[in-house]
Structure 1
């Protein structure tokens, strides 16, 4: 990676009061995201995400919906967000350039996550939840680009920052496709008379292509691939063993997952052979 395309994650100016404010905002955003996630999951009673909007967002609502087990990845993502909030709040990270660039974007993603739960669960508005999750996806793309352009020199930062944000982006990419499909089904969209299997194939193919794009831009980063492949694999499980049964969607999901996986492996092998593989202390590109 050329030095013109990236900037080292080093302190560029002494810590300022604005840095403290940013750190606090990220921590508050993480707490809010966790609390509302617990509420949205039904941990405190009330309607859960799967039961909201008449079950429009449940695992069996559309051929694009992943099986229920897939959503357990949120526990890993939330743990990563909390870890990032704590890490970036450390005094030694206060003036680090990449946290200055990432902080408010990460906080925005947390607030949009909370807003999605409010729209989907509390308001029961599926189309509003689509607007929110598309905005969340756009923010995560911005975060990913910033992560790519400001590589770290720390293994801890690589795992906490790059790993968390990569998993977050990969999973939300799959969730966005599922959310849009749920909104269309709830609205009575009949696919212009075309078979549902064809629409499922198209949507899942687009999700796979988005994973390929992320892999190319990120030069074979592993974290986004892991969560995206995880989501697609569980879409396949849902279509082969749950309702609605849809063999075409299941096969497409598996093919899309395999393509993303192969592209990431190829990109990383090429990097190794070209001599652009990571040197010790430059773990970010592997995240």
Structure 2
């Protein structure tokens, strides 16, 4: 269905404008509201139990060697603010038929709904289910961010649009990567996983190393996108803080986390510089 404008008895079609575009915009906005309400409940502000205390404290700073210190979770406020701003921005008429928003809208919506589902599962004390959901959330974020990267040549790109789309979703992806490692570790521990004979510290070092490797791959894949690295390095730094100052200390895990964060930052900057130079010489 196309929109039609009438002027002087003649009609002029507006190509590509469909009712499904408006539906997409509304659903993304509703998804953002659902995610923010879920976060409000999960923070304990509405009388519920804060995430760190839910499920018997399984996601607290000293629950596992992969859990970041409490200060790390302040980044959620920035991410949710960005998601709300993105949801409002993509509602503007100018974004209705934008090719890029058409391409990424529903993947972003999926991450918002799954975020709320994850919070509800933790609040319900369903730790194993929450681990499954956050893994699926991470997969959905990889899909959404992959589309964001591949669609950079599509539609209209402004500074504000890039910050709200690439920036917000990049922060979201980087942080959930760390949150997934912590939540999955708690879920496996709760389920009685013994680690195939490896010590908890060995597993901690290995998983932190994998998180760093994922950050390096994202940096290379996105040609030096800054936002995923910022949140991933933030999370790794707070894992180190927790292991050095909390009751569950581990110098090897802390050192690995610091080294992983440093490597991810260096690779990101190098990839970014290379991408800028390639663009200038093209």
- TM-score, length-normalised on structure 1? 0.89
| Match among 177, 180, 184 for residue 180 of structure 1 | 184
Partner residue in 2 for 1:9: none
Deviations 1:168-200 (A, max 9, x none): 000001110011111122223332332221110
Within-5 A mapping of 1:231-242: 231-242=235-246
Q: Which residue is 2:174 aligned to?
A: 170
Q: Is the 8 A contact 1:58 1:65 kept in 2?
A: yes
Are positions 1:216 and 2:220 aligned together?
Answer: yes
Deviates more, 1:64-73 or 1:182-191: 182-191
Select which of 158, 167, 192 maps to 1:154.
158
In structure 2, relative to structure 1, the CA distance for the partners of 1:278 and 1:138 (3 Å cut) is farther
CA distance in 2, matches of 1:147, 1:50: 31
Distance 2:110 2:146 in 1: 15
- Where does residue 259 of structure 1 map in the other structure? 263
The answer on whether the counterparts of 2:244 and 2:254 sit within 8 Å (CA) in structure 1 is: yes
| Equivalent pairs, count | 266
Q: Aligned ranges for residues 1-287 of structure 1 at < 5 Å?
A: 13-121=15-123, 123-151=124-152, 153-273=157-277, 275-276=278-279
> Deviation of residue 23 (structure 1)?
0.5
Deviates most, 100-109 or 227-236: 100-109
Q: Cα gap change, 1:14/1:234 in structure 2, threshold over 3 Å: closer, same or farther? A: same
Tell me the distance in 1 between the aligned counterparts of 2:17 and 2:276.
Answer: 37
- The structure showing larger relative contact order (alpha-carbon pairs under 8 Å, at least 6 residues apart) is 1
After superposition, the Cα gap between the structure-2 partners of 1:102 and 1:196, relative to the gap in structure 1 and judged at 3 Å, is same
The farther-off stretch of 39-48 and 205-214 is 39-48
| 2:68/2:240 contact within 8 Å kept | yes
Specify every segment of 5 or more residues in structure 1 that has no aligned partner in the other structure, as ranges.
Answer: 1-11, 280-287
Q: Tell me the distance in 1 between the aligned counterparts of 2:127 and 2:275.
A: 42
* Alpha-carbon distance in 1 for matches of 2:130, 2:260: 25
> Which residue number in structure 1 is paired with residue 6 of structure 2?
none
* Cα-to-partner distance string for 1:130-180 (whole Å, 9 max, x where unaligned): 111111111110111111111153111110100001000000011100111
Contact 2:43/2:51 (8 A) holds in 1: yes
- Give me the whole-angstrom Cα distance separating, in 2, the residues matched to 1:17 and 1:194: 56
**How many Å apart are 1:45 and its aligned residue?**
1.1
What CA distance in whole angstroms lies between the structure 2 residues aligned with 1:47 and 1:107? 26
- Please state whether the residue corresponding to 2:279 is helix, strand or coil: coil
TM-score (norm 2): 0.91
How far has the Cα of 1:207 moved from its partner?
Answer: 0.4
Offset of residue 215 of structure 1: 0.5
Q: Distance in 2 between matches of 1:116 and 1:148?
A: 25
Q: In structure 2, do the counterparts of structure 1 residues 48 and 224 end up closer, same or farther at CA, with 3 Å as the change threshold?
A: same
